[in-house]
Amino acid sequence: MNSDPVSLNKQDKAYVLHSRPYKNTSMIIEVLTREHGRMTLVAKGAKRAGSPFQGCLELFTPIFIAWGGRSEMKTLYKAEVISGSGNLAGDLIFTGFYLNELIMYLLHKHEAHAALFDAYQDCLNNLQAGEDTELVLRYFELRLLNELGYGVSLDHELQTGEPVQADKQYTYNLEAGISSDTSSDSAVLNISGDTLLALSAGEISTERQKSEAKRLLRSILEYHLEGRPIKTRELFTQKKKFPLSH
């Protein structure tokens, strides 16, 4: 039996997706790592004044971590902020909350998806760089779905295999996929060919394409979320519900 805990240590790049207090001064954190997937770690004494973890376990901050231990829940031994990284501010934090909800609900624990980690990192960097939030989100959602094996073929009709044409109208539903058969009356979503091609090529440009892509991805995600509501949406919708006027 290997009794040396040090040799069981692992290390990886990570982002904290969620943290909650544990005992008096500790925290239980949920991290997304690049090579080891999503997992839960306990950060002992993280809330104590002068803890080396202080300031390192914030959301949306890339860190380098080492963990180990023999119990089910591993212990965080080390965390270091990867330098040169800023953080999200203002409304972008809410956007970040949305990303974290998607990952927590859709990604199983201990399933490593390096490409998903990279997509998350790119997404945060692009948001921070001030790129169009809607577009950054759409491309992330698409990469997330592809990486989890829920990808949708956007440039070909699912049933006929015909390539999608920019000037035609299409419908989408879960079983039939993308189809040019617009006669069906069941619950389908209408989407134009140019949006499908633009989304697939990462070249969405017009407002119409943006809103069509948003509806398409939302409907696919909703299916995989199995009815689980995205709480972050309230942060955008409830704002109007608090009138302060006398």
Partner 1 sequence: MSPLIEQLISAFKCLPGVGPKSAQRMAYYLLERDKQGALELAQSLQMAVEKIGHCDMCRAFTEDERCEICSNTARHSNQLCIVETPADILAIEQSTDYKGLYFVLMGHLSPLDGMGPSEIGLDILAKRLAEESINEIILATNTTVEGEATAHYIAEMVAGEDIKVTRIAHGVPIGGELEYVNGSTLSHAFSGRREV
Residues that bind partner 1 (CB under 8 A): 17-18, 20, 22-24, 54-56, 58-61, 81, 83, 87-91, 93-94, 96-98, 100-101, 104, 230-232, 234-235, 238-239, 241-246
Q: How far apart are CB 58 and partner 1 at their closest, in Å?
A: 5
CA separation for the pair 58, 124 (Å, rounded): 14
Which helix (H) or strand (E) element contains residue 105?
Answer: helix 91-106
Q: In the block, which residue shows the tokens 């073929």?
A: 153
* CA pair distance 160, 145, nearest whole angstrom: 23
User: Judged by CB, which is closer to partner 1: 53, or 170?
Assistant: 53
> Going by C-beta distance under 8 Å and a sequence separation of 6 or more, which residues neighbour residue 57?
16, 19, 27, 29, 43, 46, 63, 79
Nearer to partner 1, 6 or 89 (CB): 89
Cβ proximity to partner 1: between 156 and 224 the closer is 224
- Which residue lies nearer to partner 1 by CB, 158 or 235? 235
Question: Minimum CB separation from partner 1 for residue 210, in Å?
Answer: 23
Structure tokens at 61: 């901050």
- Residue 76's alpha-carbon distances to 29, 141, 156, in angstroms, are 9, 30, 46
- Give the pair of three-digit tokens for residue 192: 């134009």
Q: What's the closest the beta carbon of residue 155 comes to partner 1, in angstroms?
A: 33
Please identify, using beta-carbon distances, which residue of 3 and 83 lies nearer to partner 1. 83
Let me know: does 107 contact 113? Beta carbons within 8 Å: yes
Minimum CB–partner distance for residue 25 and partner 1 (Å) = 11
The tokens describing 92, both together, are: 């972008």
Q: Pick the closer one to partner 1 by CB: 52 or 151.
A: 52
Q: Please, what is the minimum distance in Å from the beta carbon of residue 219 to partner 1?
A: 21
Nearest distance, CB of residue 75 and partner 1, angstroms: 16
How far apart are the C-alpha atoms of 17 and 12, rounded to whole Å? 15
Of all helices (H) and strands (E), which one includes residue 237? helix 233-237
Is residue 118 within 8 A of residue 143, CB to CB? The reply is no
